[in-house]
Structure 1
């Protein structure tokens, strides 16, 4: 979102965090958008880390990638739908731009919608591979919150999701950006015109959330190892940790947002409700970790753990034959070559 400050801020005696001078680079006619690249990088990290954890917990290799084929598109659509539902005036209100609702590369993904619809996609993928959804969710939870941290870097390049003015040393400089070809204001696709004189110095709430998300990732990995959590409790712990931080960070933000119950940002309310639900899940759900059923390994084309390898079974079968059966099989070419 474009900053709405009237004058410029002097930083002659203070060293603040600079914003990037732009969020889009052009490779010929092709725009390279930092926000989109950060989202893609986050997805790659989530799949890579999720795959390592999934296999370490006893799942067949390659499953996370297969499930992600369903979960990622569902999650992107869900995230965008939530953003449109909670910020519909920007696109469909007076003076809005309905076409911009399709421009997902310019920013605007709601994590609640991404998780909700992404879970539907993951459920479909897990059913196709014979994997319990809670088992899958627990494996990928740290990767998801790490991906959210990486995605917040996209907000940095877009100069969005910031807080109010501050004089703290880590205050973020906001620059005026303009289209160099037309001179028109362009906060997302433009280039900063004067980085020596920012128009505002604000709380970098995107950075606060990035750091918090990485802390949550470390917490749930530790808790999972310490208590051997299962039944979806790792995922619920991630949700509880993330929403706790988001509740307070959301209160610091000053960008336009849908307000409910008078003058409360809608994401503050949603964070509180989901936090309570996640804490209740962690507190009341019990039971050992799930095990992956053998059919899941069959569907993945690999041997289940503890199964006798096919070559050993074949050798054992030949070895169990009587001499007469072995001689007959050898005449028919059914035995392996002997040295």
Structure 2
């Protein structure tokens, strides 16, 4: 007997409470944000930071990230909005799905930078604290694609093939019933990647933005092959989807940044360790993190590192 992963009933993609319609896609994104803020706060406090700063930064980073993700999606997949049968107003219907991760990261980072500067804390220290939580949030958010029956891969007869209702099968694929569950591939990859980042962070004592760039390397490495499996409509260049090209460029840049920061820190270390906790003022000989105001390394300083530029 053949096995497969069933898709949720279409009715589960949204439900109404009076005049308000609640979309599963939005709920999963919100859950991911909650988990990311919780984990970021925990890692931030462990490094000597004030938890209130996380909420102040999130106030800027979250809306910037959502808007950036939507803008990137609309630009990279323009046909549903600006094509011959497109509907421009649908570009605003974020609840129907469609957030591009590169736009979310770019504008989300800008929002975080603004929030960090306003809170008077180190942007690179915050980025390092937030990286694993962001990856877990991305994993949770992929469940929204599952409920919307979208962004799946090509046809497959593997036991974990995802059953897609006929109404959601792309043109030319109506005769196939099960497809690669790319939402699941990315979900598992991201969770495993977050665990790896946390482990390496503790084992190697990374700091100065290297945790963030490690996050980018881990995520993009998986996104490249997962993106190649997808069959949803997208702009292609030289036979590859635009997101594949972006992923390759970002991966090379992230590797360069990670290696470059490591080389610079070995040549001229700015900190004896990656701890954000400063030594008590009465013991200046202890290993306090340099470049701080006698409190903790989360305090904003000049020379915050490349990711703070």
User: TM-score of the superposition, structure 1-length normalised?
Assistant: 0.75
Q: 1:235 to 1:275 in 2, by over 3 A?
A: same
Question: After the TM superposition, which residues 211-250 of structure 1 pair with which residues of structure 2 at under 5 Å, given as runs?
Answer: 211-250=188-227
d(CA) in 2 for partners of 1:109, 1:296: 39
Q: 1:251-270: per-residue Cα shift (whole Å, max 9, x none)?
A: 1111111111x221011111
Q: 1:134-188: per-residue Cα shift (whole Å, max 9, x none)?
A: 10000000000000000000000000111111111100101145xxxxxxxxx5x
Aligned twin of 1:279: 255
- Aligned to 1:84, which of 74, 80, 96? 74
Aligned twin of 2:33: 43
Aligned twin of 1:267: 243
d(CA) in 2 for partners of 1:132, 1:41: 26
C-alpha displacement of 1:296: 8.0
C-alpha displacement of 1:30: 2.0
d(CA) in 1 for partners of 2:160, 2:92: 34
- Asked if the contact 2:47–2:275 (Cα under 8 Å) also holds between the matched residues in 1, the reply is no
C-alpha displacement of 1:60: 1.4
Aligned twin of 1:99: 89
Q: 1:229 to 1:66 in 2, by over 3 A?
A: same
- Aligned to 1:251, which of 224, 228, 239? 228
- Asked if the contact 1:231–1:290 (Cα under 8 Å) also holds between the matched residues in 2, the reply is no
d(CA) in 2 for partners of 1:294, 1:113: 34
d(CA) in 2 for partners of 1:61, 1:173: 43
- Asked if the contact 1:130–1:295 (Cα under 8 Å) also holds between the matched residues in 2, the reply is no
Q: 1:32-73: per-residue Cα shift (whole Å, max 9, x none)?
A: 211000000011111111000001011112111110000001
- Asked if the contact 1:161–1:206 (Cα under 8 Å) also holds between the matched residues in 2, the reply is yes
Aligned twin of 2:287: none
d(CA) in 1 for partners of 2:294, 2:226: 44
d(CA) in 1 for partners of 2:30, 2:198: 23
Q: Which of the two has higher C-alpha Rg? A: 1
C-alpha displacement of 1:290: 7.4
Count of paired positions = 269
**Larger displacement relative to structure 2 (35-44 or 53-62):** 53-62
Aligned twin of 2:302: none
**Larger displacement relative to structure 2 (147-156 or 23-32):** 23-32
User: TM-score of the superposition, structure 2-length normalised?
Assistant: 0.83
Aligned twin of 1:151: 141
d(CA) in 1 for partners of 2:8, 2:295: 47
